[in-house]
Amino acid sequence: MKKLIVTLMGASLFIAACGGNDVVNEASNSTNNETTSNGTYDLASGEEIYQQKCAACHGGDLTGAGASAVTGLTYDEVLDAVVNGAGSMPAGLVTGSDAEDVSAWVEKVGNE
């Protein structure tokens, strides 16, 4: 009887621990992703990419640091600049889904 109780308690703890991770992952995904009319984007990734590739010129607060401010822009305007270049900014600094993520993040933060 004692072994049965210990086994059931152990199984309960195991199941509870596994179930808890799903809830945490779902919560973090929902806060890091945003769905817009253009698709679904990973905003946390977009912010990280911005800090690595864009902030030196456009400023950590998007107000410009040697290059133009990137506030008040739409997703499409940012994506066009990232993909095709703008002014002295060369094309292709960020590509693919990274370009989409950073564009979505800049639009969101730059319009708050």
Q: Over the stretch 71-108, which tens digit does the pLDDT of each residue have?
A: 999 999 999 999 999 999 999 999 999 999 999 999 99
Tokens read off for 7 = 């086994």
Strand partners for 40: 35
Distance separating alpha carbons of residues 99 and 80, to the nearest angstrom: 9
- What pTM was estimated for this model as a whole? 0.68
2-110 CATH pick, 3.40.718.10, 1.10.760.10, 1.10.1060.10, 1.10.10.10: 1.10.760.10
Distance from C-alpha of 57 to C-alpha of 16, rounded to nearest angstrom: 47
- The ranges assigned to domains in the chain are 2-110
- Position 17 pLDDT exceeds 60: no
Higher pLDDT, 35 or 19: 35
Tens digit of each residue's pLDDT (9 = 90 or more) over 23-80 = 333 333 334 676 665 678 999 999 999 999 999 999 999 999 989 999 999 999 999 9
